[in-house]
Each structure stands twice: as structure tokens, then as C-alpha cells.
Chains A and B, each alone.
Chain A
């Protein structure tokens, strides 16, 4: 084995009983990756219980799993192909064990999504696809298993492929390919099957070998979360794992959330072979710095101009695995890399059943197996990135009681949120938020767009409003639709003439704005209705790009 072989982690997911464990078992068996003892043991168990030999038992080690013929918990197993090493992660397909599926999948770089060709696309096929998408796993092969049960039919293959393809399209996911196999009969596993000569693509193993590794985390901006600070001897060592980027002695660094500046004095090591002048992503390291100010676990060391967000709130996509729902008004523990803080659910923008993307719009809570777009508010300032920019500093878990109950991917930061629900419009029991009268500024030190925090009045019926600010200029007549608070406001001659529920709103031909002061491009009541329908099904980015114009009434000023 050459020293620098790559290692690739692949999770196998899909609906219960569609053959995930069998496929892995078969792959290990055919590649002679298992000791004889392991195979003999499964043979013996099959004999003792009078059941046929199951490749799945090579993975499903628990007695309960074998007795029930079902995977309960995830496992990982190593094997090698000609070109590299693999860690294959088996995930359970039963809905009840979704938390175990996620525990497995969260470690993976790529995935095989298994679908029983005969049963076709089922609830967990879709749910798992969605979870992969949320976890940021984009390299996915869809595998149609049990082709033997459909006479290796090309037609069935095409049908199922079409059905899954349509669902994946709604997620904006395009799979690397579709592979027809029979795990049980070993067809299209290591070599192409003679029963499916109509299939011109790659078999399982060659498909796996074709997945390219993500490279270049070392080249990204530095993210080095402090794990601990040691003072075992006269050195004061800052220890942790570099998640992104690289670092040298003498580098200027900034430590967030505060943004303290210092330089790297030394890279520490114990074994001689670990002496290095450069350390990089993936390595667990220790450094000393020239300024001896107080550093602690949770802070993030960065260098260069690309710095993390610092805020007490962020917008995220979340999946919930907890038996009790995620609710407002309760304090949870939020863990983001090595940072830990108390936090709460500030707002649910929308929730979705993760298996059919049925949207429940705004609700007050997030239930088990649901995914949601939410805003989290934390007690302390946190340093983080958007998941797109940096995976490890762009994700967090929520601990409810003693257990991790939710995982989230950060979409963006939110301006520091106030402690109380801050209404801009209020009338007759209706309260609506928005930052329509706040200034948008470009901060030339941080290169970020920020909102100026000023305390604004609360408007009600009859009030005259300010239509011009530094960064906005509204007409004298317009409507505001504040979706998250289900409220519509009419402004005529710069005065508020009505504050009603959205359902009572009728378009009168005046411009329509959202709660942020952006134009919603609707010209008629029909268009308003179709916009509202889109709001229920589209992601916020999709909705904004389709309907909303930023610059019509707003601009960004230099701060």
C-alpha cells in the first residue's frame, strides 16, 4: 500500500429494507475484505436460526438487528479498491432510527442512495435525499437495487430513475449517476452484469472510484477553533484542530469573536517527527502566540481579511431529531465547533416534512423528523461562517437536555437581534416586524453589509411615516406585506391607513414592499396570490430571486 493513498468516506442510505447493508456486505465479501471468521460466524448464525445467509448480517451485528432483519444503528467499515481506501458507512433506513442515519451520514463525503427497483421511491428515499442535501453531501449515486426482482428490466430502471430524478430536481440536486444492481446476486458490483447489457454505465466499485475528492481546504481562509489552552510546563499552548487554511510561525492572526490581534510565536510538538514550520487543515496542533492575553476554548483563530461573522443570531436550515419539539421560549445549549453557548429559537420561518417537502409555512415549533428554516438567537456573541463558505464553522448542533437533538447549517448571519419582539407596526392586536426603516451600511473595515442599530418608533393607524432615509426612499403610496407576521400595511400620502391580516389584503395598484423595504414585483391581485403560493414552497433565496427587487427603493451607504 503506498503511503499517500486517499481515503474516501461513503455513506449508504435509503428506505428500510431496500438493501443497503446487503450491498455493503456483498461489496466486502466480493473484495475479500472480511476475515473468514466473520463470514463463518454469519453462516453459522444462518444455520442455527434456519434462515438463509444474509450479506446484511456482516454489518448488522446486534442480535436484535439480525433477529428482526433490520439495521438499528450505523457502523463504519474499511476496505480498499485498487486506487484508494474507503470507509463505508452503513445507515439504518427505518424512520425511527433517523438520528442514527444522520449520525452516520454526517461523517460522509459522498453517498449511495439505494432504491428497491420493485418498490420504487419511498418515504425514506426522499427524506434521506433531503438530509444528504442539508448535510452538504453533493456527490451522490442513486443505486437501483434488487433488479433481479424486476427481471433486470431497463423499463423499470428508467421509470424509477425518472421518478427519483424529478424529486431530486426540486432539491436542485443532480446525482452523479444511476446504477442498476442486484446486491444479493452480486450483479454490477465489481464488474458489469451480463443480465443488464442495456446498461452502459459503471458498476458500483468503478462508480465509487470515480468520485472525486474535495480538495483545497488548506487554501481557504484560516479557521482554527481553540479547543483548549494548556499550561503543563512553562509553555502556554493553544491547542486545537485547524479546520480550514494553514498557518506558519510569524503569521499575524486575529482571534474572534473579539478580533484580538497577535502573531504565532511557535508551533509546538512532542515527537521529533512532528516538528513543522507549517501546519494545515485537518491537523490537531498546538501553538504559542506572542501576546499573552487571555485565550479560551471556543475562540476562532483566523488570518487574512476573510473573517467570520460575529453575531448573536443567525439564520439556518435545521433538522430536528428530538422526541420533544424545538420550541420558542426554551433555553438550549448550542455547540458550534468548540464554542458553546445558550441559545433559543427566535423565529421559525418555515417547516417542512423532510420526506415530501410539504411546507407548513410559519409555525411555532419544529417537530421530530422535520426540517425548518429558523433564526437562532444566542446569549453570547458567536463567531461563525455560512456553511457555503466554511463547512465546519458553518454548522452547529442543539442540545436538548442531555442529547444532541438538532443539527443546523448556517445560511447567513442576522443582525444582532433585540431581546424583545420589536414591532414596527402595531394595531388591534396585530404586530409586525421588519427593518423597512433601518439603514443599510457598508462597513469598509469588515467588508460586510450591516444594519445600523437604532431604536425606531412603533407605528399604528393614522401615523405619518418617514419615507426618506440615508439608504431608502419610498413613494408616498405603497403597501407592505410582512409574511412572517401575517400582516399587510397600507400607506397612503405617507400615512398608515390600514393594518390588517394578509388574508384581508387586496391589491389596489400601488407598489408592494416586503418588511425589509424591498420591492415585491407584483402588479395585480393574481400576482400577489401566486407570490404567496411561492412563499409556501420555495426556499427564501429562490423566492427573493424570483419576486424581489433590492434596489428599487433601497441603496447601501458607506459607513
Chain B
């Protein structure tokens, strides 16, 4: 087995554990490359079926092509898709002008919490990876959130030998991270190997492309001429810029992500 085979097998194992051991389960689906790989892995894990709903937290500020692509794919694959927006916050004029972290908290963290409460999810599958940023690098595969969605990151329970955390008080939920061990290049090499369809925002047009997808006002493009998967992989092997450099919320403060994620951000 090569590196990608091992990552794939481990992710499938994790997805199957989550499906078997957690009650109501949902998968966060952000349209980006990681979610796309997750969806593919779910199809493999469950032999062409997706036995749980997909959740898209729509901030209403997403890059418009993302929404169009979301609707197209979910129709083609007849996904059970839950789209949720924190309407209350939007009505009250929430937006990045209010402060990026404030906005992220309201339109992503709070919105996510609303979905979890509304549908009583016990497990949320999220495509975060250790190599994305510091607080994610310290995550467990099965990571508990309490009733207020808080992450007790300084006191995480042991996790060993693929015996994951499947016991917890009612009202808490588990964030399941099947892609934790993957890095950015792994994702791209896997997309290439498996020939997985992907939104074209990642490919360069007019010398620019998105490396990471998020909300339009807070997500920058990078200079790039990478128009194919091969180009992207080649580019990533030589780049010295980090993946989330274009994501404004990460740059607000040295520990911005840790603070957001402690409160329930994905």
C-alpha cells in the first residue's frame, strides 16, 4: 500500500466507526476540495451510498460560484442536503465590517451550533486537516464538544489504537475528523488519482486562482498559472506560502483560529 492507499483506508475506517457508533450523524460540506474528497470517501466507505445528511452552513457571503456548484452537485447525486443560515444575525446586519472574527463567530460558529441543536446531531464529520493551522494540528480524530459547543482542548482524553471517543454525555457531540492525517498535497494527489470532479475556482484564470475557498470578502486569490491538477501539485511542491494565507480570519491574531475553534468553529 502506498501513502494515499493508507490515508484512504484510515479515513474509510473512521467514517465507518462514526456511522456505527454515533447517533444522528451529518457531514459538513463546504464545496471545497476537502469536502469533495470527504464525499468521495463516504461513497467508498458505504459502497455508493451516503447514509447521512450533508450540511452546508451558508453565510450568504460565499463566492457565488460555490452556491451554484453546490446546488448542481447535490441534485446530480441526490444528496440529502441541509442548508442553514443564521437568519437572525443576517437580519441584524452581520457582515465582515463588524469585525472578521465577530462575523465568523455569528455566521459560521453560531450557525453551526443552531443546526446541531435543531437536528440533534451527535456526530459531525468535518474535513479539517492537521497541516492547515496550529489548533487543528492538535486535534483528535473523534473530538468532543460540550453542550455549548466548546472544545476543552487543553484536556483531551487519550485516543489510541483507533479506539475513538464514543462515550459522552447526552447533549454533547463529536466532531469526526477523517482527513486529519492528510496534508494539502495528499488531497490534490488523491483528487488526481481518483479523478474526482471539482469546482473550477481552484484552477487559474487570468493568472489567479483560489487555494482555499471561503466567504468572498475574506478569501483572497493567489497568483498562479496552475490550470490543471498536475500544475497545482507542482506548484504546491515548491511554494513557501501557507495554504490559509489567503484566509483573512486566520491572520487577525496569532491565536485567532484557536479562539474561534474553542468556541465551536470548524
Residue among B47, B138, B140 making CB contact with A235, cutoff 8 Å = B47
The answer for the CA separation of A233 and B81 in the assembled complex, in Å, is: 21
Within 8 A of A (CB), among B154-188: 154, 156-161, 163, 165, 167-169, 181, 183
B94 on interface, CB distance cutoff 8 Å: no
Does A36 reach chain B (CB closer than 8 Å)?
A: yes
Q: Which residues of chain A come closer than 8 Å to B10, judged between CB atoms?
A: 284
State whether B49 touches A232 (Cβ < 8 A).
yes
* Also in contact, A36 and B242, with CB within 8 A (given A73-B138, A77-B137): yes
Q: Which of B1, B16, B163 contacts A335 (CB 8 A)?
A: B163
Question: What residue in chain A is nearest B245 (Cβ atoms)?
Answer: A37
> B158 contacts A402, CB within 8 Å?
no
Write out the residue numbers on chain A whose beta carbons fall within 8 Å of the beta carbon of B208.
none
Q: Output the least CB separation between B36 and chain A (Å).
A: 14
CB-CB under 8 A from A482, the residues of chain B are none
| Residues of A in contact, count (CB < 8 Å) | 66
At the interface with chain A, which of B38-46, B64-72, B82-90, B103-111?
A: B38-46
Residue A546 interfacial (CB < 8 Å): no
User: Are A232 and B181 in contact, CB atoms less than 8 angstroms apart?
Assistant: no
Instruction: Report Cα–Cα, A286/B49, bound state, in Å.
Output: 14
**What's the minimum C-beta distance from B24 to chain A, rounded to whole angstroms?**
17
8 Å CB contact of B194 from A75, A100, A271, A401: A271
- The reply to whether B138 and A273 contact each other, CB–CB distance below 8 Å, is no
Q: Which of B5, B48, B130, B133 contacts A77 (CB 8 A)?
A: B130
Residues 1-50 of B contacting A (Cβ, < 8 Å): 1-3, 5-6, 8-10, 12-13, 16-17, 19-20, 43-49
B130 nearest CB neighbor, chain A only: A76
Contact, CB under 8 Å: A271 / B44: yes
Decide if B13 touches A103 in the complex (CB within 8 Å).
no
A399 to B163, CA, bound (A): 10
Q: How far is the CB of A318 from chain B (nearest CB, A)?
A: 13
Q: Which single residue of chain B is at the shortest CB-CB distance from A107? A: B160
Q: Is A38's CB under 8 angstroms from B242's CB? A: yes
B206: interface (CB < 8 Å): no
Task: From known contacts A106-B161, A269-B47, A404-B159, infer whether A282 and B9 are also in contact, taking CB-CB under 8 Å.
Answer: yes
The reply on A87 being an interface residue by CB < 8 A is yes
Q: Looking at the complex, which one of B3, B6, B158 makes contact with A403 (CB distance below 8 Å)?
A: B158
Known contacts A36-B240, A61-B134, A404-B160: A227-B16 contact under CB 8 Å: yes
Which residue of A103, A235, A269 is within 8 Å of B159 (Cβ)? A103
Cα distance, A407 to B13, chains bound together (Å): 21
A73 partner residues in chain B, CB cutoff 8 A: 138, 153-154, 156
Least CB distance, B172 to chain A, in whole angstroms: 9
B161 x A270 contact (CB < 8 A): no
Given contacts A333-B167, A404-B165, contact A99 B242 (CB under 8 A): no
Scan A73-110; emit 1 where CB is below 8 A from any B CB, else 0.
11111100000010100000000000110110011000
Tell which of B9, B51, B160, B258 touches A63, judged by Cβ atoms closer than 8 Å. B258
The reply on B78 being an interface residue by CB < 8 A is no
Known contacts A100-B158, A282-B1, A407-B161; is A35 also within 8 Å of B240 by CB? Answer: yes
Q: Which residues of B contact A268 (CB under 8 A)?
A: 47
Which residues from B are CB-within-8-Å of A269? 44, 47
Residues of chain A within 8 A (CB-CB) of B137 are 59, 61, 75-77
Among A2-10, A465-473, A495-503, the stretch that binds chain B is A2-10
Q: In the complex, what residues of B have CB within 8 A of residue A102's CB?
A: 158, 160
Distance (whole angstroms) from the CB of B168 to the closest CB of chain A: 5
CA distance A402 to B144 in the complex (A): 11
- Report Cα–Cα, A63/B242, bound state, in Å: 20
Given contacts A271-B44, A282-B9, A284-B8, 13 further A-B contacts (CB under 8 A): A3-B2, A61-B134, A62-B138, A76-B181, A103-B156, A106-B160, A241-B9, A282-B5, A395-B161, A402-B168, A404-B158, A404-B163, A407-B161
CB<8 Å pairs between A and B, sample of 26? A4-B2, A7-B3, A7-B6, A37-B242, A61-B133, A61-B138, A63-B258, A73-B153, A75-B138, A76-B181, A78-B131, A102-B158, A106-B161, A230-B46, A237-B47, A239-B16, A240-B16, A271-B44, A284-B10, A284-B16, A286-B47, A402-B165, A403-B167, A404-B158, A404-B163, A404-B165
Interface of B with A (CB < 8 Å)?
1-3, 5-6, 8-10, 12-13, 16-17, 19-20, 43-49, 51, 130-131, 133-135, 137-138, 140, 153-154, 156-161, 163, 165, 167-169, 181, 183, 194, 239-243, 245, 254-255, 258
The 5 closest A-B pairs by CB, nearest first: A61-B134, A106-B160, A37-B242, A35-B242, A284-B12
